[in-house]
Structure 1
Amino acid sequence: MADSPTERRDRLDQPRDPRRALRPVRRVGYDSDRFGRFAETFARYMGTARFLAWMTGFIIVWVVWNVPYGPDRPRWDEYPFIFLTLMLSLQASYAAPLILLAQNRQEARDRVQQEQDRRADAQSHADMEFLAREVASLRLGLGEVATRDFIRSELRDLTQDLRQATADEQD
């Protein structure tokens, strides 16, 4: 006897039809750029002397407060430093991915900047080659242009030829 669809849904030995969702899954939306900026700010703060000073002060206060001097002294941590270790581990487990995210974002920005620098360098190189060709063509063109000294020498030669020709005519 074949199972009806309602009976099949209730059976655990049968896989569910993946196309049919009993409840639509809500995806939590977040702004990845805003989260990335938060991660960069967090990573930037964790690399400061202020953060190290506050963290050192917090740990010193925790240690001094929780050192077992006597049985009636109130403490936060009944088992000395286990909760402190847990908190530091939790802080490190959140800090490491945030720092990595900030580094990845910086690496992506560096990649974009390097690509822009490469393009600008290629454009500058092309411009310099064009200007070098233009200067070379100007030099070649100037080599064929008559200079002032050349024109003077030609005019002197012509005036001498004219004087000699007029002197020969008069004789």
Structure 2
Amino acid sequence: MSAVTPEPATPDQTPAPAVKVDHLRFHKGHAHLAPTFGNDAFALKAEAFARFFGTPTFLGAQTLIVLLWVGANLTGLVKFDLYPFILLNLAFSLQSAYAAPLILLAQTRQSARDKATADADAQHREALAVANEDRMSRAAQNTAQMLELLEQNTRLTELTKALTERVEALTADMHKHFVKKDGHA
């Protein structure tokens, strides 16, 4: 793939505009992987929920709830879940039953997105390498042409110098020849 260059302009035309290259063209084939769970309302809520599990806010809130739960039941303020806190264990089990699949799904989709991004980046780097090779080849051709033109210019300059010296010598000979004739006559 080579970069698109504008056509050279003729004297009565303006230069043709360069074609804009879409630098994210390799990523478009993987756009369906962008949303973790999809694009509908449930998917967006599920992704937000899965992301919330790893935040300090979630850990702090859960710790506070557990402390209040245990404290209220141990002090006798409430008596709905006495020691060994079976209801609390059931709540944790229920939370784990929903959290684990959501987190695993989020990780799986994230790894798929990472792989797709890496593949697209590799394709982009390959395209850049090919374009760079093309530019280097054209630069080498231009350098060779410039050297050839420079050699031709050097030969023409040498030829011009030789012809100028020859004209000068002929002019000097003619001048001597005519000055002698004019001096004798």
Q: Same fold (TM over 0.5)?
A: yes
Give the Å deviation of 1:92: 1.3
1:87 is aligned, of 88, 91, 96, to 91
Letter in 2 for 1:48: T
Instruction: Show structure 2 runs of 5+ residues with no match.
Output: 1-36, 178-185
Give the Å deviation of 1:63: 0.7
Match runs of 1:26-105 below 5 Å = 33=38, 34=40, 35-67=42-74, 69=75, 74-105=78-109
Question: How large is the RMSD of aligned CA atoms in angstroms?
Answer: 2.4
Matched, 1:118 2:125: no
1:160 is aligned, of 142, 146, 165, to 165
Give the Å deviation of 1:43: 1.7
Matched, 1:145 2:149: yes
**Structure 1, residues 58-90: CA drift from partner, whole Å, max 9, x if none?**
0000110111x46xx531214431111111122
Counterpart for residue 136 of structure 1: 140
Letter in 1 for 2:96: A
TM superposition score normalised by structure 1: 0.70
Distance 2:100 2:170 in 1: 101
Counterpart for residue 3 of structure 2: none
TM superposition score normalised by structure 2: 0.65
**Structure 1, residues 94-139: CA drift from partner, whole Å, max 9, x if none?**
1111000011111122222122212211111110000000000011
Distance 1:66 1:89 in 2: 19
Instruction: Show structure 1 runs of 5+ residues with no match.
Output: 1-31
Question: Relative CO higher for 1 or 2, CA cutoff 8 Å, sep ≥ 6?
Answer: 2
Give the Å deviation of 1:153: 4.5
Aligned length: 137
Letter in 2 for 1:156: K
User: Could you say if the C-alpha distance between residues 95 and 48 of structure 1 is closer, same or farther in structure 2, counting changes exceeding 3 Å?
Assistant: same
Distance 1:104 1:155 in 2: 77
Distance 2:150 2:105 in 1: 69
